[in-house]
Amino acid sequence: MGVIDSQNVNEIIRRTLSIINPKIIEHGEIVGYMLYKMLEFERRYGEQELLDYTMLGMLHDIGLYREDGLHNVADFETAGSPWSHSIYGFLFLKYLSPMGDKAEVVLYHHLDYSRYGMVKNKYSHVTECLALADKMDNFMRCRETKIKDNYFSKYRNIQFSGEALDLFHKAEKEYGITAKLASGEYRRELSDIMSRGVFSEEYKKGFLEMLVYSIDFRSEHTVVHTMSTVNFAMQLGRLMGLGAKDLQSLYYGALLHDLGKVAIPLDILESPGRLDEKDMRVMRAHVRITEMILSGLVHEDVLEIAARHHEKLDGTGYHRGLSEKDLTLPQQIAAVADILSALYGKRSYKDSFDSGKIRKILQEDADNHKINKQTVDCLMEHYDEVIAKYEEQKDETIGLYLSIKQQHEEIRKRLEGIAP
């Protein structure tokens, strides 16, 4: 029993990324669909593999989302060098999603076909097909993307694989891909494909984690904040004796609680000083946006944990101004975890506080009937242990964050050496 249905995972990704730039998501779906039809025609791969590759096709430009200022960019592919987003996409998918090694397909989606011999790629066939589908969609949107009419005759086996193009034509003849794209019918087929696959809990969890962390990647503080909120929430939930079902909801609620920050500009997220009234209002909108993204797609319990993390027991919180009687224990635990994470973590405007100060603030909040007193008491009793457990995990996450940044640089140098 899961709290999020398989096909909804995709819809959450879609709604979230659409906020940044709906064109990239549409492009991803078209490319994913074309790739699926090409591979379906070959009958070479099993159902699960096909599903994985379709997901990779849909998410091949996910690395673009870590860049700010993407709102309203029509020709996003050429907005910068193609390497950066290919590499980030590859690393996010490889380390943060269930795709593992298959993520290589994304790494090379902008590499010219004539240079394939210069890299080792276990998945070169799918890469060829993905790269072709990517070019095909850019070609169909040529008014925005500058691909010329004679592109496919001129650059055969230079920029793209001729074999992949032939495969596309065969699949086009069999399935009428372009007609389905034009009529919009592909969307229904794509969601059918997605709903046919039953994702394991791990698979769903992996994709949602990847979504959250690849957006959070815009700012190290945010990555650490999300991760520590999840960690503290789970520890507090266990200490407070929550059952398995509540713990699961708490996990997803905490993971997704700040998803709405996707809509908040980086200069507000990373503001070096305290926010003024106007910016604060923008910042506060993140809860409403989180709620909007998740509504109808996750179990009510998860939605409410995520959407109520800034509510206070005395009714002074936001965005609904609910009070104690409306807030369940898991919701109240998530709120404590969020505050603890904010106090303990470094922010752009503050260093982390020492434990004396953190304990004092939390105690005051509990005494003033802002946050759940039992949870705070329980935390006080186990404070050092909770922090120690978190520190263990934090090293891993920051390590992963730093390692992704470092690998990004190394791969970029290597690829620029091959194809400047």
For Fe ion, the closer CB: 83 or 401:
83
Question: Containing H/E element for 172?
Answer: helix 162-175
Nearest-approach distance from CB 257 to Fe ion, in angstroms: 6
Q: What is the dihedral of CA 393, 399, 404, 407, to 10 degrees?
A: -150
For Fe ion, the closer CB: 56 or 203:
56
Nearest-approach distance from CB 120 to Fe ion, in angstroms: 21
Nearest-approach distance from CB 390 to Fe ion, in angstroms: 18
Q: How far apart are CA 216 and CA 213, in angstroms?
A: 5
Q: How far apart are CA 143 and CA 125, in angstroms?
A: 29
Nearest-approach distance from CB 141 to Fe ion, in angstroms: 11
Collapsed DSSP state (helix, strand, coil) of residue 375: helix
For Fe ion, the closer CB: 134 or 301:
134
For Fe ion, the closer CB: 61 or 67:
61
Q: What is the dihedral of CA 400, 13, 203, 233, to 10 degrees?
A: 60
Contact residues toward Fe ion (CB under 5 A) are: 61, 77, 134, 258
For Fe ion, the closer CB: 19 or 382:
19
Contact by Cβ (8 Å): 113, 159: yes
Nearest-approach distance from CB 59 to Fe ion, in angstroms: 10
Half-sphere exposure of 52 (CA within 13 A, CB side): 22
Q: How far apart are CA 390 and CA 343, in angstroms?
A: 14
For Fe ion, the closer CB: 77 or 304:
77
Collapsed DSSP state (helix, strand, coil) of residue 257: coil
Can you read off the two tokens belonging to residue 20? 């940044």
Nearest-approach distance from CB 33 to Fe ion, in angstroms: 13
Q: How far apart are CA 160 and CA 128, in angstroms?
A: 7
For Fe ion, the closer CB: 6 or 94:
94
Q: Nearest-5° angle of CA 245, CA 251, CA 257?
A: 130
For Fe ion, the closer CB: 134 or 291:
134
Residue 70 phi/psi, 5-degree rounding, is -90, -10
The H-assigned helical ranges of 141-276 are 142-145, 151-154, 162-175, 177-183, 186-196, 201-216, 220-239, 244-256, 266-269
Collapsed DSSP state (helix, strand, coil) of residue 347: strand
Nearest-approach distance from CB 180 to Fe ion, in angstroms: 19
Nearest-approach distance from CB 71 to Fe ion, in angstroms: 18
Distances in whole angstroms, Cα of residue 77 to Cα of each of 51, 53, 74, 140? 24, 20, 9, 14
